[in-house]
Chain A
Amino acid sequence: AQSVTQLDSHVSVSEGTPVLLRCNYSSSYSPSLFWYVQHPNKGLQLLLKYTSAATLVKGINGFEAEFKKSETSFHLTKPSAHMSDAAEYFCVVRDSSYKLIFGSGTRLLVRP
């Protein structure tokens, strides 16, 4: 069965510093992986996705993620945090039946 583990429930960074949100996956086959973001009182917005093409995936708002099969990881990064990045981030794996399996989420706090 597919699963994802988000290693940090909360991450706090200063504005202008790098962001790293960690995610490890478990899959019996080559997975499709996603990062979604949820701003307060908003829906789930797709940041980026990996579907077996390039291992470094660029998303919206300057975010990117690298698929590392040897480490079963799909960490989300951004070189410089902005106040508007404060939100909850979900690492997600797609099941063979197309349903999405969500991680527990990481809340990103950006300090001025």
Chain B
Amino acid sequence: EPEVTQTPSHQVTQMGQEVILRCVPISNHLYFYWYRQILGQKVEFLVSFYNNEISEKSEIFDDQFSVERPDGSNFTLKIRSTKLEDSAMYFCASSEPLQETQYFGPGTRLLVL
């Protein structure tokens, strides 16, 4: 069964450093999403992406965040200058055109020191 994959599974970084989280969505899906879950809190929407542009972004998704689909298979989330409060589990999801079911990857646990 096709699945969404994410790398790395864990990442530790120093405050102020740039990180790139990678996702490979299911191959025929065209809608892509990033969510995050700070420890002990709800899963929160960050951004949705379709047709090589952002469809919607939350208030969390400020200028420090960016997304890209560099090569037709990967979908990346970049945090330019990490802050302590960026420590969280980051989930990538994808869905088919006009479908509502989003399929999630296993997540990347980011720890900012």
Contact = CB atoms under 8 A, between A and B. Distances in A.
Interface of A: 32, 34, 36, 42-46, 49, 51, 90, 94, 97-105
30 contacts: A32-B100, A42-B106, A43-B4, A43-B91, A43-B104, A43-B105, A43-B106, A43-B107, A44-B91, A46-B101, A49-B100, A49-B101, A90-B43, A97-B48, A98-B55, A98-B56, A98-B95, A98-B100, A99-B33, A99-B48, A100-B33, A100-B35, A100-B43, A100-B45, A100-B93, A101-B45, A102-B35, A102-B43, A103-B42, A104-B42
Contacts, number: 52
Most A CB contacts (10 A, CB to CB) among B42, B91, B93 go to B42
A34 B55 CA distance: 22
Nearest to B6: A43
A99 B93 CA distance: 10
Interface of B: 4, 6, 31, 33, 35, 42-45, 48, 55-56, 58, 91, 93, 95, 100-107
Contact of A105 (B42, B58, B106): B42
A104 B91 CA distance: 16
A22 B101 CA distance: 21
Contact of B31 (A98, A103, A104): A98
A45 B56 contact: no
A46 B93 CA distance: 12
Given A97-B55, A99-B56, A46 B42 contact: no
B103 A46 contact: yes
A34 B4 CA distance: 18
- The 9 A-B pairs with the shortest beta carbon distances in the complex, nearest first, are A43-B106, A44-B104, A102-B43, A99-B45, A43-B104, A102-B42, A97-B56, A104-B42, A32-B100
A36 B104 contact: yes
B101 A98 contact: no
Nearest to B92: A43
Contacts of B91: 43-44
A98 B45 CA distance: 11
A100 B102 contact: yes
A51 B76 CA distance: 30
